[in-house]
Structure 1
Amino acid sequence: IVETNLGCTDTAAQTITIHPSPVVDFSINGNCLVERTVLNDLTTIAGTSSIDSIHWQFGDNTFGIDSIENHIYNNTGSYSIQLFAQSDQGCADSLVQTVFVNPNPIADFSITDTCVFQSINLNNNSNIALGTITNNEWDFGDNTTSALFEPGHTFNQAGNYNVRLVAISDSACTDTSTLNITIHPQPVADFTFTSSCFNASFFDASNISSGNINDYAWDFGDIGTASIQNPNHVYTANGNYTVSLQITSGFGCVHDTSKSIAIFNNFTADFVLSNSQICSGDCIQFSDSSTAHTGGTYTWAFSDGQTSNLKNPLVCFQNSDEIPLGIDVQYKVETHSGCVDSITYTNYIQVYPRPTAYFTYTPEDPSISNPYLVFQNQSTNAGSFTWNFGDNETSAVVSPSHVYPEIAKEYSVVLTAYDQSANCHDTYQTTISIADEILFFIPNAFSPNSGNINNTFQPEFTSGVDIYNFRMQLYNRWGEIVFETQDPNIGWDGQYQNQFVAEAAYVWKIDFTETMSDKKHTYSGYVTVVR
């Protein structure tokens, strides 16, 4: 409607369309550095109009046109994000929102390989440039998790595990770090043992699934220890002992176990001997009679200072005194299986002084003409005596006399001297020779052809003449041999050339060898023929 100043009016009519403008809106999801910031276009428009185009300005001199933008900011700080929208009718609208891009935390931790069943050594070194880390999410790779800052954790199986840490800041920014850890197997300690008396032998029965067992630490329960794999140990007393074994693998994984062992020594040392009462200089056979065993070391000690390491020694004892000597015996046995025992006897052996037998006799050179001997007993430490004169005659007299037969012969004389107890004796033996003598009778006259009396000249030889080396000759006054014989049993009947000789004195000469030696003798004289 138009009206002039004069009051004139006119009217014209047209129809126009008013199109709606877009209502710009968008959402922001994520505001962490170098992570996607998701911008979601939420612009709307009324009626039948539609959004023809959009345009993003991200505030970092970068742009976008998609309804959903995933934008990554490379620097922290505040950014103005503007969204422009235009409808199909050319209507436009825009919206600016501010976003603060926060720094991400740096997830960092250290962890060391360890053993199964042992708590891991874990250090959380995570940090953030701005803000704080409010959450830690751990995944140990064995279906277990934790939200603690530095959690303790024990693996129940050996193997390799990826341990992951997610660090979350107060702005919900995250970072992830993953490390591999090796969980080493734990050795399993075990052992067996045998014992005999005080000796025990231990045998390692430990095992490990992989790797080696490097160290052994034994405690035998009696302050004794060892560090070898299969030790032996000698206990000093009966009793029950708790033995423990701790083993360490090559990586250092440790396990220990303990067992009880009963030690009982039922070994008894003992011996027998061949005699407990001997004479000085005699020997005794000692024989081990200990509880049955397979060998060992044997220690004998005697109070006279003698020792032996034989199992069954033969030991000789001396006594130079005049009274019996008592000997103490100590015997100790240590078997190869560790059994130990000893036994001591006081004055177990009596060593009697041994007498010394000795004698002399007179005359020193007895003969068949004087076979009477007197013996002088010079024995010492003796109380009784027995004499054997060698001719089936004996005596118990201290210093006897004895008459031998009047024949040349050697006799073995033995004196046995006994001590006061008659347990010890000594003998002295010597050979006595009754010497032969040259004994003969030669008549100085005879009467041939006068009957049966004195009618033959024949010397009588009693002893000392060797009849096999004999010669007798008779001579007349002219030096003629009137008779000769080599048989002492044949005499001269007074005949010469089958006629009786005249009364006269005749010379006789006798040659012979004595029976005591090869010495030759010559005798001569006169014999008178009487009618």
Structure 2
Amino acid sequence: MSLVGVNAQTIVVQSGSLNLCPGQSVTLKADNTITPTPTYQWLSSSNNGTTWDTIPTATNQTYTTSTAMLYAVLVNSTQYTYVTVTSNPKPDVGFTFSPTNQCSNVPVNFSNTTTVPSTYTWNFGDVNSTSNNTATATNPSHIFIGTTGNATQNFSVKLVATSNVGCKDSITKTVTTKQLPHIKLGGSNESIYNGSTFFRDCSMGGSASLTFINQSNSNSTNTNYKIVWGDGSPDYTSTNFPTPINHSFPLGTTTVLYIISNSNCTDTATYYAFIGSNPAVGFVNPGNSTICTNSSLTFPISNVASNSLGTTYTVTFNDGSAPVTFSHPPPSDVSHLFTTTSCGTNSGTYNNSFSATITASNPCLTSTASVVPIYVSQKPNASFSITPKDTICKNSNITFTNTSGNNSYVNAPNCSDGKVVWEITPATGWTINNGNLGNTYSSADPNFWVSGTASISINFNTVGTYSVKFKAGNPVCGMDSSIKVICVNPTPTASFSLSNTSGCSPLVVTANGST
């Protein structure tokens, strides 16, 4: 059977997908609302639509199949547009890994051998690795956390591969690692600072002694303990660590390594010793902190000489710029360019102001100093747009619109919009449709201006060239201006003459046009 006159109505997928994976089926539906109920006959083609075969008993509005072919349906003997059902393979999933049977702190590298282009989801069966327990990379690497001890442990690693048409398959393999000893060092005045563990003496008495204690819970299988003090002194090494020990450190921060071994593996933890005190810091007000945009201020940094190494300084301006961080010793001052107005920003009790803050921090404590208020007004940058264009015909309208913003300025504690004035030269040959020009009263000081509107509409009724000057200003940052030229042309007058206006057919007529 061959089919002609295919109807534009369609077959839809009621369930499943036209892209079949092994073991799947799809239910097709003739999409119509014909009443009374029409007759249906489903057809299939295995030769790309060259011929069609009737499917016996397939006489309902829907048809379910698990075979890849072309399918069509006759509804009241009218064929709907056919659909193509394709068969797709599952990915042939596989992977290898190395090394194996190593200590848990040795990364295991996975090599994906899956065929069929796919996306991947790995589960390493290592719940103690939290968010690192899964991955989507093609060839990931994983450090197994597991549990501590002195034996081996097994992890069930599962890889799921999904092809670009949604066909899935998976494989699970076992990875064996050797357990690490449990490692934890306790010590004097322990705290967490910037995500790291510190032991501290904050009395600022020069060098100081700190006490350390072994807090490992795998002592029965631990075979060796080692502390690398990080200050050049000999390491502490022992086959047991039953009682607290003391060690003296210089001012500042020292990196301390704690190393524990069992019969199979060795693990290392990093700690820090800090000798110092809470830091001091000052931020000096430079004065003249009422400025315009694109102006800089320089802030001297003071009272930091007694701070110890390991102190960090963070300078923050609440104008949207990124913080700046320094290590001890910091520079003598910090300069900052203010590019936006402070209008709309509140700093503590100061409305419409910015602040500058320096924070000095170390493992002992944090200190801050601020400069506030900093008032930043908008420096005018006059600009305007022309609609529809700058060359027009007589008696046409042009709209001029301020595009330079409000030019707001701070009159503490308030903010006000700047002023705009329009000037058109010559002063005749045009009329105002909408808006008003404002007036400078021949003054360059915006304090004395009467502001015009942000947009004006002008009708130019006389041929000529006009200069439009736009002035924007505020009392703090002065004024700026922009000039554009408008060309007004005569309205064209169309006329033409004919060489002949009457005669016998065929009549040759020549037309001559002019404006």
Tell whether the structures are fold-level matches, with TM greater than 0.5: no
**Structure number with bigger Rg:** 1
More contact order relative to length (CA 8 Å, sep ≥ 6): 2
